Amino acid sequence: MKINVGISIFMGVVIGIIVCYLFGKKTILKKYIQLLKIANLQAKKIVKNAEKIGEVIKRKKMIQAKKKYICIKLKHEKFIRIKEKKIISIEKKIKEKENFLSKKVETFFKKNHFLELKINDYENQYKILKRKRSELRNIYIKKINNLENLSHFSSEKAKKELVNIFKDKVKNQAQSYINDIINESQLTAKKKAKKILIQAIQKIGIEQVIENSVSIFNIDSEEVKGRIIGKEGRNIKALEKATGVEIIVDDTPESILLSCFNPIRREIARLSLHRLVIDGRIHPAKIEEIVEKTEKKIEKEILEIGKKNIVDLGIRNIHPELIKLIGKMKYRSSYGQNLLQHSREVARLSSILAAELGLNVKFAKRAGLLHDIGKIPEEISDIPHAILGMQWAKKYGEDIEVCNAIGSHHDEIEMSVLISPIVQISDSISGARPGIRKNSFESYSKRLKNLEDIAFSFYGVNKAFAIQAGRELRVLVESNKIDDTRAFQLSCDITKKIKNEMTYPGQIKVTVIRETRAIQIAR
């Protein structure tokens, strides 16, 4: 019973839902149809409005296009009118020119007719003149023939005789005139040359330094002298061995003599002694250290000296190797005359003479400063110092004129430029003054240098020093190449070669030193 009631209720609900759905569907369809009708009406209205708006726009565009066309047409018509006016004006000008030219042509033909008449007149006159000229020439020839018949002498011979007479006369006059000019020019040239040289010498005021082979090292007390000597003279020996300079300690108070023909070695020894005295620690190991540092310092000083001198002389763009050679001149001498001072003086004299003669002052100054760089090397060379200096100048990019002046200042090569004789004259002026040069020092230094070169010619020699004014040759050998037996034999060989190749007063002591060192460092 309960089940039947439930089924009936369920069926009633379903039927109600279906009825409601069908009713709602009909109402929705009605509303949808109404909406479609409204939409169609609105669409038709919109289309009509759009067509109206389109027609309005179309009319406006047509009106604008017509206006634009009218404007363009007006402009074009205006342009055509302007062009027509120009064409008309050009046509008028052409017509005027045609009229003008036609008038010109008419006048030209009229004038031409007149000119033709004048030309005919001139031609007639020219014919008359030509006829008269031929008549005069015939008369002249007849007179010449009459004169030749009377004098029995042809006109050609007479011309030659006259020419020879005047030629000899003029030649003698010209020769005497030339001789007078030459004599006068020679006198004035000599006076002028002497005047230029005197003025150049007067402008140079360099103090000449005469080199010697001894330097004096001043000390404060005898106590310092004792420390320099060291126990049994070991400090002195170490310093002599390291520098190659003979150190003379005598009774002269508060001074020590440093003797060596090589100024660079003397300067190294002097500076090393100065630094050792200031430091206070004077022993062989310290001496070797100080000497090594001093040698490096001297190399830097040489470069600075070279730079300073080229700046002082106003010389630019010079190779660094040539600057080093200029710096080394300070420690070289030529016949006792300091080489750097001599070269500076030659440079200044050359520049003054070149300026007086209107030549290249810069090239003259460079050549004067570099003319003796061939004297710098310590080793003996078969090439003359002028040629060697010229080769170095070429190698380091100096001008051809400068190279020729360096190479020809002692006439080893031919002078090809005007500054070459100027450098030669300046060198002679600088070296020829009384008391400037001492030949004895030059020969002395050469003898000591030859002595050292003999030692270096043997195998295994590390260093060689000529000391005690050439009375002793101290030779340091490499211990790994020369043993004790060979060291003795080496001293004999060197002594024998000195006897055969050199002339010397007294005797020369040859000392060969062989030293073995074993060095270890505890860390």
DSSP string, 225-294: HHHHH-GGGHHHHHHHHHH--EEE--SSTTEEEEE-S-HHHHHHHHHHHHHHHHH---SHHHHHHHHHHH
Following CA atoms 294, 209, 212, 408 in sequence, which dihedral angle do they give, to the nearest 10 degrees?
Answer: 90
Residues 326 and 430 in one domain: yes
Residues 326 and 432 in one domain: yes
Residues of the chain with pLDDT under 50: 2, 205-211, 435, 438-440
Domain assignment present for residue 385? The answer is yes
Residues 322 and 432 in one domain: yes
State the residue range of the domain holding 327: 318-437
Q: What is the pLDDT of residue 119?
A: 67
Q: Which residues contact 383 (CB under 8 A, 6 or more apart)?
A: 374, 391
* The two structure tokens encoding residue 419: 């500054």
Residues 173 and 187 in one domain: yes
Domain assignment present for residue 450? The answer is yes
Q: What is the pLDDT of residue 4?
A: 59
Residues 269 and 174 in one domain: no
Residues 424 and 378 in one domain: yes
Residues 185 and 221 in one domain: no
Q: What is the pLDDT of residue 209?
A: 42
CA 270/CA 275 separation, integer angstroms = 9
CA 187/CA 460 separation, integer angstroms = 65
Domain assignment present for residue 92? The answer is no
Q: Which of 289, 312, 335 is the last residue of a domain?
A: 312
Domain assignment present for residue 125? The answer is no
Q: What is the pLDDT of residue 152?
A: 65
Q: Which of 256, 283, 312 is the last residue of a domain?
A: 312
Q: What is the pLDDT of residue 2?
A: 45
CA 356/CA 190 separation, integer angstroms = 15
CATH number (domain holding residue 472) = 3.30.70.1350
Q: What is the pLDDT of residue 464?
A: 86
**Mind listing the pLDDT tens digit for each residue in 441-474?**
556 677 778 888 888 888 888 888 887 667 788 8
Domain assignment present for residue 325? The answer is yes
**Mind listing the pLDDT tens digit for each residue in 230-276?**
777 777 787 777 777 777 776 666 677 777 767 777 878 888 888 88
Model confidence, pTM: 0.45
CATH number (domain holding residue 253) = 3.30.1370.10
Residues 308 and 326 in one domain: no
Residues 391 and 460 in one domain: no
Q: What is the pLDDT of residue 211?
A: 46
Number of domains in the chain: 4
Domain assignment present for residue 378? The answer is yes
Q: What is the pLDDT of residue 129?
A: 82
Domain assignment present for residue 479? The answer is yes
| Neighbour count for residue 178 (Cβ, 10 Å) | 10
Q: What is the pLDDT of residue 320?
A: 86
